[in-house]
A and B are shown apart, each in its own frame.
Chain A
């Protein structure tokens, strides 16, 4: 039973870490949104020579907004997990107390605890564990979907870099902006890899 308590404690700490990682991706996604808006203005100033860059900047802005939406769904999901894990931690503590009560009791007291644990308590514990496993599977799926979306962002950033080369007098500025995109999206990819690793450890 002590193992179960440790497991639930570890699960709760993992969810807190996941949530912190998600918060950092949300902040970065917001940064990309601002960068994309600046890039759109810059492309307009560059005029005819940066038409392609302007189209890509618009796409990057859409990507940043999609990413923010995706991350807020992930965050909601982790809040749901916190509730379930909290219930599990509480049940694990009750289990520990009941196990001690069982050891100290005899006769009617012991049989009452045995019956109670068999019929209700352990079932509820198992049900909560199943719920957490299901939530973890959904979370992993969503992280995988987000990683695909970010891969698209990465392609857009690389293409923007190529387009920047055709930016004439604005080429250096456009190159700077597209390199910033690439670096920032790289940060998100690393965060998602870390999230994926955390999920793999929990499954």
Chain B
């Protein structure tokens, strides 16, 4: 099963990363799920696919009562992001799922009905979790055409979806890393291929460089901390994207 790791805690406000299942079959891409808690309220970010549900659910329940999961955030529509929706709804049919308006009629193929979805307009929006206001940051075409990230001003954490993904080999896939130059080699091919728009990339870099970020948490791979975040944004802004061969 995955491990639940508290990556930020200040009083009632907490971020938990659900990561690294040693029994994950190698034909499934590894994914990180994050739970933001504020008091009794919570938001599960990119809850994952059906196949990883058992390990996400079991890891999550070591830290938090799964019945209290009442909000989900899907950065985009992919199966590794949100195909477990039907299972979360089985446990709490009142669960609300935040997703781009663009995908509101596609994602119900994974489960849910009209009442399940809260659509996010292209410009983003705020989501209240307990007493904290989280900001939904547009990241369209990076890689999905309706794509969002989530910024927590209190924790200074940016959940960056697929941006920041590094497909690191075993042994170099810790939750945090130390050597940026070594790490970023495993991110290059992914970003060149998956991020399809130079303009969208420049807009995103400009947008997030205005945020005060202590941690950047991608959906795959290790978390960026401190100066690594600035270095990543700088590296990404200079990377040629939308090319088939790296």
The 8 Å CB contact of B87, one of A97, A105, A108, is: A97
The answer to whether B91 and A97 have CB atoms under 8 Å apart is no
The answer to whether B53 and A112 have CB atoms under 8 Å apart is no
The 8 Å CB contact of A112, one of B1, B54, B55, B61, is: B61
The answer to whether B65 and A108 have CB atoms under 8 Å apart is yes
State whether the Cβ of A116 lies closer than 8 Å to any Cβ in chain B.
yes
State whether the Cβ of A201 lies closer than 8 Å to any Cβ in chain B.
no
The answer to whether A112 and B90 have CB atoms under 8 Å apart is no
* Shortest distance from the beta carbon of B158 to any chain A beta carbon, whole Å: 29
- With both beta carbons as reference points, the residue of chain A lying nearest to B57 in the complex is identified as A101
Interface-centre pick from A93, A98, A107, A109 (highest chain B CB count, 10 A): A109
- With both beta carbons as reference points, the residue of chain A lying nearest to B51 in the complex is identified as A97
- With both beta carbons as reference points, the residue of chain A lying nearest to B55 in the complex is identified as A104
State whether the Cβ of B67 lies closer than 8 Å to any Cβ in chain A.
yes
Contact A105-B57, Cβ < 8 Å, known A97-B50, A112-B91, A116-B91: yes
Contact A94-B90, Cβ < 8 Å, known A107-B62, A109-B62, A112-B67: yes
Give a binary string over B64-80; 1 marks a CB under 8 Å from any A CB, 0 the rest.
01110000000000000
Q: CB within 8 Å of A: which of B36-86?
A: 50-51, 53-55, 57-58, 60-62, 65-67, 86
The answer to whether A109 and B66 have CB atoms under 8 Å apart is yes
The answer to whether A107 and B61 have CB atoms under 8 Å apart is yes
Report chain B residues within 8 Å CB of A108: 61, 65-66
Interface-centre pick from A97, A108, A112, A121 (highest chain B CB count, 10 A): A97
The answer to whether A97 and B61 have CB atoms under 8 Å apart is no
The answer to whether A94 and B86 have CB atoms under 8 Å apart is yes
The answer to whether B66 and A104 have CB atoms under 8 Å apart is no
A98 to B57, CA, bound (A): 10
Number of A-B contacts (CB under 8 A): 50
The answer to whether B91 and A101 have CB atoms under 8 Å apart is no
* Shortest distance from the beta carbon of B1 to any chain A beta carbon, whole Å: 4
The answer to whether B54 and A97 have CB atoms under 8 Å apart is yes
Report chain A residues within 8 Å CB of B57: 101, 104-105, 109, 113
Q: CB within 8 Å of B: which of A35-86?
A: none
A128 to B39, CA, bound (A): 40
* Shortest distance from the beta carbon of B23 to any chain A beta carbon, whole Å: 9
Interface-centre pick from A93, A94, A121 (highest chain B CB count, 10 A): A94
Interface-centre pick from A100, A103, A116, A121 (highest chain B CB count, 10 A): A100
Q: Can you list 20 A-B pairs with a CB-CB distance of less than 8 A? A: A93-B50, A94-B87, A97-B50, A97-B51, A97-B53, A101-B53, A101-B57, A103-B54, A104-B1, A104-B57, A105-B54, A105-B57, A105-B58, A105-B61, A108-B66, A109-B58, A109-B61, A109-B66, A112-B61, A113-B57
Q: What 19 new A-B contacts, CB under 8 Å, besides A101-B57, A109-B66? A: A94-B87, A97-B50, A97-B53, A98-B54, A101-B53, A104-B58, A105-B1, A105-B57, A105-B58, A105-B61, A106-B62, A107-B61, A107-B62, A109-B60, A109-B62, A110-B61, A112-B66, A112-B91, A120-B90
Chain B positions within 8 Å of A, measured between CB atoms, are 1, 50-51, 53-55, 57-58, 60-62, 65-67, 86-87, 90-91
Chain A positions within 8 Å of B, measured between CB atoms, are 93-94, 97-98, 100-101, 103-110, 112-113, 116, 120-121
Identify the 4 closest CB pairs spanning chains A and B, nearest first: A109-B61, A101-B54, A104-B58, A100-B54
